[in-house]
Structure 1
Amino acid sequence: MQAYRFITNDDTSEFCHRVTEALSKGWELHGDPQYSYDEKRGVMRCGQAVTKHSDETYSKDLKLGQL
C-alpha cells in the first residue's frame, strides 16, 4: 500500500520537527511545502505531503502516523 499524510502546523520549529520525524521513520517528501497566512490567528501555516510504502492492509482505522 502507498500511504499518504499531509502534515500541518504553524510556521515554527515544531513543524520542522514533525516533518523530520516522519522522514526519520521512512516517509518521503511528496511535492513542495505549502504556506498560507491564517488571518484569524495572525500566523503563517505550513503543510508538507509525505508518502510511504507499507505492507499494511489499508483500513480507515489505520493510524498513518504509526506506520
Structure 2
Amino acid sequence: MTNLTITSDSLYGMESTPTSILLRFGKRELFICRDYYKRLYKSNPLIECSAGVQPGHLQILLLRRWLVVMSKAH
C-alpha cells in the first residue's frame, strides 16, 4: 500500500519548500521536492546521484531542479 503525504517539514532543511511529496512503499520512502540549493559545481543536466545527508539515503537530482531522496522508512 502506498501512502501519499504532502508536507513542508524540516526534512533535509527543506522548511522553505512550499510543497513536497513523501511516498512510502512498505519499508522505503521516496521524498520529492524542488531543489533550491545553490551548487558550487556544474551538475549533470539530466540526472545526478550522490550519497544523502544521512547514512542509507540516496539523493537524485533530476533536470537540475527536482530532488528525489530515497531512504528506509523510520
TM-score, structure 2 as length reference:
0.27
* Bigger Rg over Cα: 1
TM-score normalized with structure 1 length = 0.29
Name whichever structure is richer in helix by fraction. Answer: 1
Higher strand share: 2
Q: Higher relative contact order at CA 8 Å, sep ≥6: structure 1 or structure 2?
A: 1
